[in-house]
Chain A
């Protein structure tokens, strides 16, 4: 199993606590996590990404209990195995789009050719923006570039946080198409957390918080 979550709880030091249902997600499987605001969707995503550590429970990704990794190993593991798409696309502003993509293999130490980055950018029709600074791109283009950055190094898990919330129907559909297509091509497990009801009918496997 690519992702295996059991007995997961998280308590903010001086805030709400969350108890999450157990779930699994196999390689190539796509999972939609639905929930209203405040139900801990982003918290779950950050737990899966190892950006925060659970209060209790086990998160296994590719049979690695990520809560047991050291800080440094967790950073590296995240960089090599997990691609994350945040609600709003952010970049290192001082370098080009292509360099922003190549930052990922550089930081994680997972060798990935520049041609792969250009390939994916082109597939997402932002290839012509590769040598521009991120700030000069439209919001939609930035979102595509963020997707490209999350997937081009072929992570085994792709996590997306509200990828469609800011987009109209047509663009929302396109973005989900792209995500599914990229996940399918690399056989990655795809988890999308959202409150966007438009996505409800597209995914067979769903959990609701």
Chain B
């Protein structure tokens, strides 16, 4: 026999009374905790993918889109830029490093990105097996690509034109065979979801695609080296103030320079606004659950006045009754907190599955974070406050009167 057992029995004794409180509280907690997880994981994931990239040099258009497309690979690129034009920018001494990206095809919705060894090196990717692509049509694939498509070293495949469309149109198919020569170890960066190949591959795929047209028009012409194009360059700057200078150089071209820090904070602000709205709704739910717990404890205390007085006649002190009721409040909220945390994990897994499907963006860290511990503190406070008045009322019970009138 202990007080906790009595509290627990009391909660179980009237399950319907407590159900509403727990459902409300766990929903409030669940939503808040999910928002916290979402925010920390997405910004962590974004930070990991930005990783020292300062600018994105790409075709004119929305700088936000240009960042989303070329850093996170979740949007379509703004267009192509000419290598000859881009060279003027990337050879600038203010540029410490420029990583070329040329892409336009996918395999089972995984983008095939033409680049060089700087790209995987930038994210510190190491090879799980095989080697890095060295010739056109050789590819080294990310860990998630290997896992989901089942491609392995020696596998061959053909690509589909587009960024993340499925192959439903026969014309969209290219016929050149790609060969897997290596698989990257998981780096938790965007590389996990990419198929990397030399830029020449991308050029050759698209030259081929355009060949019939050029042949028919210029039957006699000598073979002209086509103007080489890139989708984008990821740029690391050498010194401060580079953005203004480099940006100026793009003015009369078809290119633009997107400032990653600016675009990302804009993105995070918009995203954060959405999260704040949802969090505000969750807080309202929490307040309602607080009132619900209060009413539930208060009515239950009223109904049990005789029991409480009885416990006094059996040697229970006022402190015993006070503890009993506070404890019931705390038990309720801890239960609500636990269920809420569980709900947020389930919600996150569902969301992660959804994001993985459409963006190849998974959320995987389900550990309890420090903000959630703070949330536990807040929850306990709610429990304490909601049970304080009923507990106070229990202190003041006149046992003689209560037992006489019963």
B317 touches A71 (CB 8 A): yes
A107-130 vs B, CB cutoff 8 Å, 1 = contact: the mask equals 111100000000000000000000
Which of A78, A86, A92, A105 has its CB near the most chain B CB atoms (within 10 A)? A92
**Complex alpha-carbon distance, A158 and B403, angstroms:** 17
Distance (whole angstroms) from the CB of A133 to the closest CB of chain B: 9
B6 touches A92 (CB 8 A): yes
A95 touches B315 (CB 8 A): no
Distance (whole angstroms) from the CB of B23 to the closest CB of chain A: 21
A71, A90, A94, A108: the one contacting B6 at CB < 8 Å is A94
**Complex alpha-carbon distance, A36 and B314, angstroms:** 28
A86-105 vs B, CB cutoff 8 Å, 1 = contact: the mask equals 10101111110001001111
Which of A79, A88, A91 has its CB near the most chain B CB atoms (within 10 A)? A79
B1, B12, B404: the one contacting A99 at CB < 8 Å is B1
B403 touches A104 (CB 8 A): no
Which of A52, A88, A93 has its CB near the most chain B CB atoms (within 10 A)? A93
Which residues of chain B are near A46, meaning CB under 8 Å? Answer: 400, 403-404
Interface residues of A in 58-106 (CB under 8 A from B): 71-72, 75-76, 78-80, 84, 86, 88, 90-95, 99, 102-106
A108 touches B314 (CB 8 A): yes
A76 touches B315 (CB 8 A): yes
A95 touches B317 (CB 8 A): no
Closest to A110 in B: B315
Check A42 for interface membership: any CB of B closer than 8 A: yes
A107 touches B13 (CB 8 A): no
Check B306 for interface membership: any CB of A closer than 8 A: yes
Which residues of chain A are near B304, meaning CB under 8 Å? Answer: 92-93
Which residues of chain B are near A84, meaning CB under 8 Å? Answer: 313
A94 touches B314 (CB 8 A): no
Check A193 for interface membership: any CB of B closer than 8 A: no
Check A49 for interface membership: any CB of B closer than 8 A: yes
Which residues of chain A are near B12, meaning CB under 8 Å? Answer: 94
A94 touches B399 (CB 8 A): no
B313 touches A49 (CB 8 A): yes
Closest to A94 in B: B13
Interface residues of B in 372-406 (CB under 8 A from A): 399-400, 403-404, 406
**Complex alpha-carbon distance, A104 and B310, angstroms:** 10
Check B10 for interface membership: any CB of A closer than 8 A: yes
Which of B2, B311, B314 has its CB near the most chain A CB atoms (within 10 A)? B314
**Complex alpha-carbon distance, A78 and B315, angstroms:** 6
Distance (whole angstroms) from the CB of A106 to the closest CB of chain B: 4
A76 touches B314 (CB 8 A): no
Interface residues of B in 287-329 (CB under 8 A from A): 304, 306-307, 310-320
Which residues of chain B are near A86, meaning CB under 8 Å? Answer: 403, 406
Which residues of chain B are near A78, meaning CB under 8 Å? Answer: 312-315
Check A167 for interface membership: any CB of B closer than 8 A: no
B317 touches A76 (CB 8 A): yes
B45-77 vs A, CB cutoff 8 Å, 1 = contact: the mask equals 000000000000000000000000000000000
Distance (whole angstroms) from the CB of B377 to the closest CB of chain A: 29
Distance (whole angstroms) from the CB of A157 to the closest CB of chain B: 13
Contact A51:B403 (CB < 8 A) given known A71-B318, A107-B314: yes
A-B residue pairs in contact (CB < 8 Å), sample of 24: A46-B400, A51-B399, A51-B403, A71-B317, A71-B318, A72-B317, A72-B318, A75-B317, A76-B315, A78-B314, A80-B315, A86-B406, A88-B406, A90-B406, A91-B310, A94-B6, A94-B10, A99-B9, A102-B1, A103-B1, A103-B311, A104-B314, A105-B1, A107-B316
Q: Which residues of B contact A (CB under 8 A)?
A: 1-2, 5-6, 9-10, 12-13, 304, 306-307, 310-320, 399-400, 403-404, 406
Q: Which residues of A contact B (CB under 8 A)?
A: 42, 46, 49, 51-52, 71-72, 75-76, 78-80, 84, 86, 88, 90-95, 99, 102-110, 149
